[in-house]
Structures are given as C-alpha cells and as structure tokens.
Amino acid sequence: MRQRRKNQNMNKLVSHLLKLPIDIGQAEKKHISAGKRIAFSFIPSGKGKTALDIGCRDGFWSDMLKKKGYIVRSLDIEPHYKDALVHDVEKGLPFEKNSVDLVWCTEVLEHLHNPSLLIREIDRIGKSGGVAILTTPNSAWWLYPVVGIWGWTPKKLQNIDHKQFFDYEGLARIAKGYDVSGYFPYAFFFFKIKSLIWLLSPTFILTKKFK
C-alpha cells in the first residue's frame, strides 16, 4: 500500500512537471522542443540533396526537411506517415554506402538495444561533406540525481520504451567523431551551450560532418 501511494505521488508530480511552461524535452513538446529546434538550426540548405529521417513517426520533421529543399526518405518501425518505409533500424539501414547527404535522427538511440550499430550505419551511408544530426536524452542531467533521492530514476521518469540511459561519457564512447552540444536554460530563451552539457542540458545534440 505504501509503495502504491508512493508511485501515485510520483506520477502526479511528473504530470505536474510536464504541464509547466518549461522545455526539458518532454514528449508533449516533441515538435517544438528546444533540443530539436537547436538541432534543426544545424541543417544546411538542401536543394537537390537527399535526407533520411530515422524514426519519423508522424512525419513532422520529414515535412520540415522537404521545406528546406531536401528529397526525403522517411523510416520507422511503426510509422504514422504515409510516405514512410517500415523498417527496424536494429537490423541496419537499407541504403547504399555514401548515398545520403543528411541524416536526421532525433530521440531514437535511447530506444535501441544496440545504438552503436545505428551510428555505424549512419556513418556508412553518409556522403562526403554531408551531415548527421541526432538528439537523445541526457540521463545525468542535474534534476535526476535530485529526484533520485526519492527513488525516481531516469528509467521511471522517461518513456517506458527507453532501453538506454546515456550520460556524456557513455554517449561519447559510441558516437566517436560527433560534436556534442546542449541548451540552457529551459524557459523563454534557449541558448546553445558547449560547456557543462553533461550537467545542464536535458538533451544531447550530436552533429557530424561526413568525410
């Protein structure tokens, strides 16, 4: 009974946090989160170029890429987008080597059993001079140790389907060659940061130029 009451209180707190006018990368802001907006700002003009949207879901970002001029391929294991290819990225990517100018992959790595495989596949299909842009939650963000005092771990607070809970060092091990940035603060103004990302930013933003 005590544990049930504790879980109910935790769920209520999380629900209230998600309703606050702050941006900490929560699912309710999946189309306008600061992390994704900053990530999207790294995208160059795409006239005549090819882009791959990995984990496209409802196709919002695929459509945004099309507005930037890209010829877009979209894929997801369970897409809700009419133009998407149904595919499990745990089995690799169904594209030829050096065939894509831009890879857009947001909030996908944490759902995978083997995120290293996807990163290797992204590197394989990227054209020289092209760009990869990824985002994933920072599970070492300062708030998690605070609420961890009450047993509220990232596993309990994040999406139930998350299989990876990255800190900066863990992410750097599998994303070699990627530049990592984040943002701070979480309301009104969002500034891209390069320092103290591991502590201050709830989201990791990864970028890489293909060689």
Q: What is the CATH number of the domain that holds 34?
A: 3.40.50.150
pLDDT in tens, 98-120: 999 999 999 999 999 999 999 99
Residue 188 makes CB contacts below 8 A (sequence gap 6+) with none
Is 113 inside a domain boundary? Answer: yes
AA identity, residue 141: W
pLDDT band at residue 17 under the 50/70/90 scheme: low
Is 11 inside a domain boundary? Answer: no
pLDDT band at residue 44 under the 50/70/90 scheme: very high
pLDDT band at residue 23 under the 50/70/90 scheme: confident
Is 33 inside a domain boundary? Answer: yes
Instruction: Please tell me the number of Cα atoms within 13 Å of 176 on its side-chain side.
Output: 5
* Residue 55 to residue 182: CA distance in whole angstroms: 21
| Number of domains forming the structure of the chain | 1
Q: What is the mean pLDDT of the chain?
A: 91
Is 156 inside a domain boundary? Answer: yes
- 178 neighbors 208 (Cβ within 8 angstroms): yes
Residue-number span of the structural domain to which 35 is assigned:
22-209
pLDDT greater than 70 at residue 186: yes
pLDDT given at position 188: 83
Element holding 170 (H helix, E strand): helix 168-174
Is 150 inside a domain boundary? Answer: yes
What does the angle CA 161 – CA 187 – CA 145 come to, to the nearest 5 degrees? Answer: 50
Is 12 inside a domain boundary? Answer: no
Four-residue CA torsion sign, 93, 95, 100, 104: negative
* Residue 119 to residue 126: CA distance in whole angstroms: 11
Coil, helix or strand at residue 106: strand
Mean pLDDT of 66-88: 97
- The torsion angles phi and psi of 66, rounded to 5 degrees, stand at -65, -35
pLDDT greater than 70 at residue 34: yes
pLDDT greater than 80 at residue 48: yes
pLDDT in tens, 120-171: 999 999 999 999 999 999 999 999 999 899 888 999 889 999 999 999 999 9
Is 196 inside a domain boundary? Answer: yes
* Residue 59 to residue 79: CA distance in whole angstroms: 8
Is 144 inside a domain boundary? Answer: yes
Longest dimension (CA), the chain: 61
